[in-house]
Amino acid sequence: MEIPERHEHDVLVIGAGGAGLRAAIAAIEAGASVGLVGKSLLGKAHTVMAEGGMAAALGNNRPEDNWQVHFRDTMRGGKGLCDWRMARAHARESPDRVRELEAWGALFDRAEDGRMNQRPFGGHTYGRLAHVGDRTGLEMIRTLQDHAVHEGADVFMECTVFRLLVVDGRVAGALAYWRPTGEFVLFRARTVVLATGGLGKAWKVTSNSWECTGDGVALAYDAGAELMGMEFVQFHPTGMVWPPSVRGTLVTEGVRGEGGVLTNRDGERFMFRYVPEMFEGDYAESEEEADRWVEGDRVANRRPPELLTRDVVAKAIVAEVEAGRGSPHGGVFLNISEKRSPEYIKTKLPSMYHQFKELAGVDITTDAMEVGPTTHYAMGGVKVHPETAATRVPGLYAAGEVAAGLHGGNRLGGNSLSDLIVFGQRAGAAAAEEARDVSLTEIPAAELSAAVAGAMAPFARERGRNPFGLQEELQQIMQDKVGIARTEEALSEALEDVHRLRGALDSCSVDGGRAFNPGWHTWLDLRVMLTVAEAVVLSALERRESRGAHTRIDYPDADASLGRVNLVIRSSDGRMVTDAEPVSEPPAELRQLIEEGV
């Protein structure tokens, strides 16, 4: 099939969220021509759902805060699996990237002295999240897209990339289709940056929007890149649980950061019972002490236990529900009305106020919310060079949630937004630098024809399986067998299920034409989601220990004999295989920071 629409750029950025926009800006600043491809409308990226704030050690809340404390918090939160070079770069550069956003027009909330306000989040020693109420991601996207467009990015909206094109071992571009028309479009580029976000739509209950099917992970894997840490999927402790139509919708950690407390059916503030030994001394031991911290008495830095890391809080909520102390709809209660005034809540948490009012009929200024864990974020993803964000495929880079390394086994809240702008900038700059010495490559016609034929395959079948049913089956399998608590038996069953569903892809059919065809879109997404699911399940089977966001009921403790290793996935003779790689040890001065504190 001839592909009449073709575009050429120095750097092609796939994904128009925070990481993609920042990469595009950096590449343009370095003199490159940039194509920016977004699966949805510009401004609709999932970054807008990151509500609570972006972590950066500005020192506005507490002058003692600095990059060393932020680095230590990130490394501890990642349960020993963070790449120390990425964590150091992130902690050092986040303040400059946040101030840069402000210079470009972002309107952050202000403290009384006029400086940028910073709120506390789980796992952070000090309040260090710069925020815009509970709509921080929206303000980030607004600012970045305005700047990227004015800098000259060539934007392609509602355009989905389904194949990276590799010629002679080097990425040479991408093949995509326009979602409204189904017409194919070819992008040739000297270098490519993947910034496609997460993969939460592989689960039934998720805070992720429809775009988050793991496109970049599958694109990179199919192109020959390695994946890492795929077993580490974060279940945010607080998603809505009622009504069923909105189950999984995110309830920002900002609610707890502003003083919200978690209680069970009996009214007990249960998180005091779940403080891990490694965090003892950092968190309050009584409600009175926790309340003093919320009221501003933070001399001892003993934070409320609701601000423990997300893996700890999510597991605690599951334990309460399983013990019969859950709320009527299978969650627990989150209440901020007893700690803050209605005016304060409406000012600091306007989106949460309207979300519960409109979707659940709950007034959070007077009543408690029902919440429970929801699939939220992937710590794992494409393995990249810690300095440049380059993959092992020449010319291919990855940044943001699609990339692995920074967050290790568990991400701290607020680190995601600063991750986007720190490593988006690094990836864009490195891609532009490499593009200077690379020529555009002609794509063999046979490869284009084969890719198009593969994408068109379900149209040639009649009365085959419905891709919507197949997608629903996959999501239920992942929810039931690859959730917060995992077992060898359930994971083994899930792996067999995923292989069975992959075979069923070849029996799916799609009716109608390519224009406005959601059945076809779902089938194409399924190819991606099954690759993602297999990688997650295989890694979860191989990691026979509990660490961070990965919990094995049959291996409840961290395995000291295993050592600190990352599981790396690569393709070998058409099969997905795993290897264990030791985590790089930081230099002595950084080890001391992690172990002893600042």
Torsional sign, CA 548, 553, 557, 561: negative
Structure tokens at 25: 């800006």
* Beta strands 381-382 and 227-228, pairing class: antiparallel
Catalytic pick from 124, 147, 236, 269?
236
Rounded to the nearest angstrom, the gap between the alpha carbon of residue 187 and the centroid of all alpha carbons in its chain is: 26
Contact call for residues 309 and 74 (beta carbons, < 8 A): no
Q: How many CA atoms lie within 13 A of 105 on its CB side?
A: 11
**String of b and e for 243-272 (b: at least 16 CB within 10 Å)?**
eeeebbbbbbbbbbbbbbbbbbeeeebbbb
C-beta atoms surrounding 424 within 10 Å: 30
Query: What residue spans of 251-378 are helical by DSSP H?
Result: 254-257, 287-294, 310-322, 342-348, 350-359
Active-site pick, 9, 62, 179, 256? 256
Half-sphere exposure of residue 47: CA atoms within 13 angstroms, side-chain side: 40
Q: How far apart are CA 30 and CA 15, in angstroms?
A: 19
Running DSSP on this structure, what letter comes out for residue 274?
Answer: G
3-state secondary structure of 136: helix
Q: Convert 210-225 into a string of H (helix), E (strand) and C (coil).
A: CCCCCHHHHHHHHHCC
Distance (Å, rounded) from C-alpha 260 to C-alpha 273?
A: 17
Which positions ≥6 away from 337 have C-beta within 8 Å?
Answer: 345, 364, 365, 366, 367, 368
Among 368, 356, 362, 342, which residue's Cα sits nearest to residue 261? 368
- How far apart are the C-alpha atoms of 550 and 491, rounded to whole Å? 12
For residues 140 and 487, give the distance between their C-alpha atoms in angstroms, rounded to a whole number.
Answer: 39
DSSP state of 584: P
The token pair that represents 4 in the structure block: 């009449």
- The reply to whether 521 belongs to the active site is no
SS3 content of the chain, % helix, strand, coil (to 5): 40, 20, 40
**Residue 19 and residue 418: Cα distance in Å, rounded?**
9
φ, ψ (nearest 5 deg) of residue 485: -115, 125
Please say if 236 is a catalytic residue.
Answer: yes
Q: In Å, what is the CA distance from 441 to each residue of 168, 173, 191, 303, 448?
A: 10, 8, 11, 55, 13
Residues labelled as active-site residues? 236, 256
